Amino acid sequence: MITADLTNIRIEKNNFSSIKSVDFNQLDFGKYHTDHMYIVDYGDEKWFDARVIPFQNISLSPATASFHYGQTVFEGFKAHRSKTSNEIILFRPEKHWERMNKSMERICMPTLPKDIFMDGVIEMAKMERDWVPTQDGCSLYFRPFVFATDAFIRVKPSDNYYFIVFCSPVGAYFSGELKVKIETDYVRSSEGGIGFAKSGGNYAASLLPAKKAAKNGYQQIMWTDAKEHKYIEETGASNVMFLIDNVLITPSLSSSILDGVTRDSIITIAKDMGYKVEERKVTVDEVINAIKNKTLQEAFGTGTAAVISPISVINYLNVDYKIDAPKENGFSRKVYKTLNDIKYGIIPDPYNWTIRV
């Protein structure tokens, strides 16, 4: 059955929901997808035919440009089930739209108008509301992405694209201890590269070093700068922050570091809590010294998927440096609680970050 709604999104409902096959008490990150997807075409220099259709495979030519040259970007944000009303609460989707457009500009793609992004996201939140988990710490992860669809293997920007949003009910990205290895051989991105863009190639670059680190028991790589391996950049799937002498310290944004939405949210909340925040170059040496002289109170990854993930061990040049678990009333626990309370509608959102559906 095909119907049209007020936002001109064509809607084709899936009459065969797979929701009953999902064990919501055992949500691995990214294992399941919901019943629908939002898809918009680009061609002849315009976006057109916005539609929500049953989740399905896409048929593409083997010559499709994005397979070969990586002209693709993605985003990730979450929706939570309100603890105080019947609403679904989307966390900062507009900020993700803004970042997606910055990534798209860098990868030489046409940008996407805000209403096409937001109308589709809100329509998906309405249609998939039953999929938003009720379990603590779980949410519905939205994965918007854009990729080149020209079937043409000369290296050039594509003339045609798909924008797609699909959703996945998720639990925690990291479970158990988070041990990270400071990477001093491989490089994720260099200045002037595409590190700040959320593009597939950055993640492809991380797979081999991450696999090698995992063999030795480290769940993540902590990337350092490409020139000297002296400055900390981010981890494989998140930004990174340190609390040293009660000061929140995080690498400043650059062309090789992702402008994390959770990073930005934590900095905002920390400042409002009265913490001093330093966004600047952070050397590996100062972090290791702070662990040694016990001025480092906390180290943690921050991201939509990671949320706030405390780091228990940092490995540098084959030495493990242990970090105490965060204290019950410590910085990251307090910020996590505020962030979560906003996301779940437990406290008012003073920042206008959330959208309720």
Q: Is 169 in the site for ligand COI (CB under 6 A)?
A: no
Q: Which of 100, 107, 221, 305 binds ligand COI (CB under 6 A)?
A: 305
We find the least distance from the C-beta atom of residue 356 to ligand COI, in angstroms, to be 21
We find the least distance from the C-beta atom of residue 285 to ligand COI, in angstroms, to be 28
Q: Is 237 in the site for ligand COI (CB under 6 A)?
A: yes
We find the least distance from the C-beta atom of residue 237 to ligand COI, in angstroms, to be 4
Of 84-92, 120-128, 243-251, 303-311, the window that binds ligand COI (rule: CB under 6 A) is 303-311
Task: Specify the residue, 120 or 303, whose C-beta has the smaller distance to ligand COI.
Answer: 303
> Where are the alpha helices (H) located in 237-283, listed in sequence order?
261-272
Closest CA to 319 of 356, 278, 268, 284: 284
Q: Is 301 in the site for ligand COI (CB under 6 A)?
A: no
Burial of 30 (0-12, 13-18, 19+ CB in 10 A): middle
The secondary structure of the chain in percent helix, strand, coil, rounded to multiples of 5, reads: 25, 30, 45
Residue the block writes with tokens 């994720």 = 188
| Helix and strand element counts for the chain (H, E) | 7, 20
Q: Which residue is nearest to ligand COI (CB)?
A: 76
Helix (H, G, I), strand (E, B) or coil at 97: helix
Instruction: Please report which helix (H) or strand (E) contains residue 80, including its range.
Output: strand 77-81
Of 2-10, 226-234, 297-305, 315-323, the window that binds ligand COI (rule: CB under 6 A) is 297-305
Q: Is 304 in the site for ligand COI (CB under 6 A)?
A: yes
CA 51 from chain centre, in angstroms, equals 24
**Residues near 234 by beta carbon (within 8 Å), at least 6 away in sequence:** 188, 222, 223, 240, 251, 257, 258, 260
Looking at residues 57 to 116 of the shown chain, list those that interact with ligand COI (rule: CB under 6 A): 76
We find the least distance from the C-beta atom of residue 306 to ligand COI, in angstroms, to be 6
Helix (H, G, I), strand (E, B) or coil at 155: coil
Of 48-56, 118-126, 159-167, 302-310, the window that binds ligand COI (rule: CB under 6 A) is 302-310
Task: Specify the residue, 34 or 304, whose C-beta has the smaller distance to ligand COI.
Answer: 304
Residue 300 contacts residue 236 (beta carbons within 8 Å): no
- In degrees and rounded to multiples of 5, residue 80 shows phi and psi of -120, 155
Of 129-137, 160-168, 278-286, 298-306, the window that binds ligand COI (rule: CB under 6 A) is 298-306
We find the least distance from the C-beta atom of residue 75 to ligand COI, in angstroms, to be 7
Task: Specify the residue, 163 or 316, whose C-beta has the smaller distance to ligand COI.
Answer: 163
Alpha carbon of 119 to those of 5, 39, 72, 177, 331: distances in Å?
11, 12, 22, 39, 36
Task: Specify the residue, 211 or 230, whose C-beta has the smaller distance to ligand COI.
Answer: 211
Task: Specify the residue, 158 or 262, whose C-beta has the smaller distance to ligand COI.
Answer: 262
Looking at residues 238 to 257 of the shown chain, list those that interact with ligand COI (rule: CB under 6 A): none
Q: Is 315 in the site for ligand COI (CB under 6 A)?
A: no
Task: Specify the residue, 241 or 291, whose C-beta has the smaller distance to ligand COI.
Answer: 241
We find the least distance from the C-beta atom of residue 93 to ligand COI, in angstroms, to be 12
Of 58-66, 150-158, 299-307, 321-329, the window that binds ligand COI (rule: CB under 6 A) is 299-307
Residue 29 contacts residue 173 (beta carbons within 8 Å): yes
CB atoms < 10 A from the CB of 41, how many?
16
Task: Report the amino acid identity of residue 181.
Answer: K
Q: Which of 120, 144, 171, 303 binds ligand COI (CB under 6 A)?
A: 303
Closest CA to 234 of 247, 244, 221: 221
Task: Specify the residue, 125 or 305, whose C-beta has the smaller distance to ligand COI.
Answer: 305
Q: Which residues bind ligand COI (CB under 6 A)?
A: 76, 237, 303-305
